[in-house]
Structure 1
Amino acid sequence: MKCWICGAEEAATREHLAKASDLKALFGKPSQRYPLYFHASDRPGMPRRRNIRVGSLKSDTLKFAHRICLTCNSARTQPYDYAWELCSGDLRAAVPRLLARGSFRANWLFPYDTRRAMRFVHLYFTKLFGCLVIEGGIPIDIAPFSEAITSGRPHPHLYLAFGHLPLPVVMAGGSDVHTAQLERKVAFATWLYHVGDLAVNVMYALPGQHREGLKVAWHPHMGAQRLRFTRFSGETD
């Protein structure tokens, strides 16, 4: 199996559906005695699964089925992973304050080299959304995702919105990907990633799309001065 990011033949590793550090922050280290419980809706090649006991954060149950190479899953994207790990922890700790203010400054998260660090956060979700495109067979061109990750430049059509999503139980993961097509091509796609009550709405939007969710979204080309922090209802557009 080829790595979808760089095209290498030896794709032997798998990306976590929800970042391992996010899972550890919420649930600690699971064990066979104190497991996590995994739920997933139908995905191509993977039937609906409910209440699957998971005794380790390294379990393949918590990962995408499609593989990427070791270089892309380590040296190439570790800076992106680490940027989100820091961002996730600080945002989760400040949710009540951020809701009251409705926004935050990126240099509060990353006092040094702010724009670069926020670009890395964007690239982490570029990798995750690219995995979703590949795994789900979504008709979106994967080449710009690969180019963004390997070059370190932001994907031109991927936007992030940060906010609060109240859930009835403590969980981490993501929604289904919802798409809208124009002339037989996906023009807009939206996906919610959540860690506890912190959520990131990842949106793919071709030029000319004027969706409601984009009004509070951020892209690295907008700079990294002040980002919106909104209330999500679970329905995104």
Structure 2
Amino acid sequence: MNICWICGKEATTREHRVKASDLRKIFGVVTQQSPLFTKRDGRVRTLQSVKSDFAKFSAKICHHCNTTATQKYDEAWSEFTNYLLDNQTVIRSCKTLNAGNIFSGDFKKGLLYCHLYLLKVFGCKILDDKVPFDLSSFSDCILSERAHPDLYFSVDKKIQPKNKNYAATSPMQVVQHGEPERVVYAAWYYIIGKIPIKILYYINTPPVHVHGHMIHPRSGKKFLRLA
């Protein structure tokens, strides 16, 4: 039996590598006649629907955690990425984003829920990539609606995808340290269109040159600096 890493119950569903609503926003309706193509582990696969298993992580979570328990996190992420995709040409020349213009409700809640959505995706990616990592702190934050102290994200303009009809997640970079060894740094990109979003796990507070443009709910800032 597959066990949900978030709550420990039986796991029967999979989380998308790139959110289904983001795929639809970029590519429209995906069908057998108008498929997508994905490359992973050196193999090209055809997606005839955004619900294809090839669009998802192999790690499983339970239906409740993937829907009811995290629905508002998913919705906040959709608001965030819809705004980015609708304004991607302008964002390339911006220095900040006004979070108050992004979310329909309280921007602080919106940023927290985006953060918690990324915890869910990050946990699934950690399992898929077989990174030696204790996910209990991730699951505790997801279930209790609390920000994780060591997870950050940012819109990183230093990376410049050429094609707006593009969506992907990058390989994860991991640094381990200590005795016994544990993960002290992990980073990867969630790329939609021409917008690269960096997701960073960094124990303690990152150095200023890293932390200055990273988004964390505890900052409470409405204006978000872009890298």
TM-score (norm 2): 0.92
**2:169 alignment partner in structure 1:** 174
The answer to whether the 8 A contact 1:130-1:142 is kept is yes
How far off is 1:214 after superposition?
A: 2.9
- 1:70-89 alignment to 2 at 5 Å? 70-89=63-82
CA spacing shift, 1:65–1:111, aligned 2, 3 Å: closer
Aligned equivalents of 2:132 and 2:171: distance in 1? 15
Whether contact under 8 Å (2:212, 2:225) holds in the other structure is no
Q: Which residue is 2:43 aligned to? A: 49
Match of 1:40 in 2: 40
- Which residue pairs with 1:92 in the alignment? 85
- Structure 2 counterpart of 1:25: 25
Query: 1:224: Cα distance to partner?
Result: 3.0
Identity value in percent: 33
* Alpha-carbon distance, 1:166 to partner: 2.4
**Match of residue 211 from structure 2:** 214
How far does residue 173 in structure 1 lie from its aligned partner after superposition?
A: 1.6
2:105 matched to 1:105?
A: no
The aligned residue for residue 3 of structure 2 is 2
User: What is the total number of aligned residue pairs between the two structures?
Assistant: 222
How far apart are residue 216 of structure 1 and its match? 1.4
Conserved 8 A contact 1:172-1:196: yes
Correspondence 1:134-149 to 2 at 5 A: 134-149=127-142
The alpha carbon displacement at 1:99 in A equals: 3.2
Describe the shift of the 1:208–1:225 C-alpha distance in structure 2 as closer, same or farther (beyond 3 A): closer
Change in 2 beyond 3 A, CA 1:207/1:89: same
Match of residue 113, structure 2, among 110, 116, 120: 120
CA pair 34-134 structure 1, distance change in 2 beyond 3 A: same
Could you say what secondary structure the match of 1:101 adopts?
coil
Q: Write out per-residue CA displacement over residues 7-58 of structure 1, whole angstroms, 9 at most, x where no aligned residue.
A: 01x21011111100010111111111221001113xxxxxx322x1111111
Distance 1:74 1:208, change over 3 A: closer
- C-alpha distance 189-212 of structure 1, shift in aligned 2 (>3 A): farther
* Cα distance between partner residues in 2 of 1:56 and 1:17: 14
- Measure, in 2, the Cα distance between the counterparts of 1:141 and 1:158: 14
Moved more, 75-84 or 162-171: 162-171
Is the 8 Å Cα contact of residues 158 and 202 (structure 1) preserved in structure 2?
yes
Partner-residue secondary structure (3-state), 1:100: coil
- Quick one: which amino acid aligns to residue 43 of structure 2? R
User: Using a 3 Å threshold, how does the CA distance of structure 1 residues 111 and 20 change in structure 2: closer, same or farther?
Assistant: closer
CA shift for structure 1 position 202:
0.3
Q: Is 1:64–1:131's contact at 8 Å kept on the other side of the alignment?
A: yes
Give me the whole-angstrom Cα distance separating, in 2, the residues matched to 1:111 and 1:77. Answer: 18
Provide the C-alpha distance between the structure 1 equivalents of 2:205 and 2:63, rounded to a whole number of angstroms.
Answer: 37
The one-letter amino acid of 1:121's match is C
The answer to whether the Cα contact below 8 Å between 1:188 and 1:209 also exists between their aligned partners in 2 is no
User: What is the aligned-residue RMSD (CA, Å)?
Assistant: 1.6
Listed as ranges, the gaps of 5+ residues in structure 1 are 42-47, 231-237
How far residue 65 of structure 1 moved from its aligned partner, in angstroms, is: 0.7
Q: Distance in 2 between matches of 1:208 and 1:107?
A: 26
- Structure 2 residue 63 is the aligned partner of structure 1 residue 66: no
The reply to whether residue 224 of structure 1 matches residue 221 of structure 2 is yes
